[in-house]
């Protein structure tokens, strides 16, 4: 069945109505599969009594058919929503795994430097556990010159999609240089960062 992401809501409801009508033509067994009895025993009994009365038969049968169609339509819609929810859950789990298990260090940092999110590689590189990162700031793991560089880096990110880079040293190991590449998130309230070791520059082949 076509999902609501590909067609308009009105078109989707129209398709559901047609599908419900087709299912009801298959008989009571199909209707029972899609929530038969959900109309309520007393309501159905009243409709059937009305349907047996020639004075009310036409209206009662029309109403009964409309209620049955609507019930099947709702059940089809519920089934569609459950399928969509399952797909979204699987997709979210997929991207969460990609983020957490990526070999590169990824961080989401607030404009004031607080670490909001981080993956396992970031925790290993900077020396903190990702589950505790929300209580920490990125700059506390950097040597003083690097702290100023990161603060300036965040300041120059003036709009979503803006990219800036800087280098910084780790506290306790200032000789180990980190390369930090940052971009402002679409809402503009957080900064996405990729952190890696600076590439050591090798000897110039022309001098050998």
Domain stops at, among 65, 100, 135: 100
User: Considering its fold, how many domains does the chain have in total?
Assistant: 2
pLDDT band at 29 (very low <50, low <70, confident <90, very high): very low
Which residue in this structure is represented by tokens 């008989």?
Answer: 27
- 208 part of a folded domain: no
Which has more pLDDT, 24 or 21? 21
Report residue 171: phi and psi, to 5°.
-60, 135
**CA nearest 117: which of 133, 98, 129?**
133
CA 136 – CA 125 distance, rounded (Å): 15
Alpha helices in the chain (DSSP H): 9-25, 28-33, 41-51, 57-101, 120-126, 144-156
Q: What is the mean pLDDT of residues 174-201?
A: 86
Range of the domain at 113: 102-197
- Beta strands across the sheet bearing 105-110: 115-118, 105-110, 190-197, 173-184, 163-170
**What percentage of the chain has pLDDT greater than the value 90?**
22
Cβ–Cβ under 8 Å, residues 195 and 178? yes
Q: Which residues have a Cβ under 8 Å from the Cβ of 159 and sit 6 or more positions away?
A: 184, 188
pLDDT tens digits, 77-128: 888 888 888 889 898 888 888 888 899 999 999 998 899 988 999 988 888 7
Cβ neighbour number for residue 103 with a 10 Å cutoff: 8
| 129 and 79 within one domain | no
Distance CA 124, CA 168 (A): 16
Question: Looking at the structure, do residues 90 and 119 belong to the same domain, yes or no?
Answer: no
Q: Which range, 52-66, 68-82, 110-124, is most confident? A: 110-124
CATH of the domain at 156: 3.30.450.20
Identify the helix (H) or strand (E) that includes residue 168: strand 163-170
Q: Are residues 93 and 106 in the same domain?
A: no
């Amino acid at each position: 069945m076509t999902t609501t992401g590909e067609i308009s809501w009105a078109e989707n409801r129209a398709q559901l109505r047609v599908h419900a009508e087709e299912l009801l033509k298959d008989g009571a067994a199909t209707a029972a599969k899609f929530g038969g009895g959900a109309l309520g025993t007393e309501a159905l009994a009243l409709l059937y009594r009305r349907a047996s009365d020639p004075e009310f038969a036409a209206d009662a049968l029309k109403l009964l058919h409309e209620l049955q169609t609507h019930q099947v339509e709702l059940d089809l819609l519920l089934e569609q929503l459950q399928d969509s929810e399952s797909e979204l859950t699987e997709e979210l789990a997929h991207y969460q795994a990609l983020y957490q298990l990526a070999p590169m260090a990824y961080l989401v940092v607030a404009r004031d430097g607080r670490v909001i999110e981080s993956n396992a590689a970031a925790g290993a590189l900077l020396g903190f556990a990702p589950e505790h990162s929300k209580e920490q700031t990125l700059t506390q793991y950097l040597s003083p010159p690097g702290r100023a560089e990161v603060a300036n880096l965040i300041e120059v990110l003036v709009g979503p999609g803006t990219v800036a880079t800087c280098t910084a040293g780790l506290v306790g190991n200032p000789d180990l240089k980190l390369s930090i590449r940052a971009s402002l998130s679409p809402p503009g309230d957080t900064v996405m960062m990729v952190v890696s070791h600076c590439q050591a520059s090798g000897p110039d082949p022309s001098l050998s």
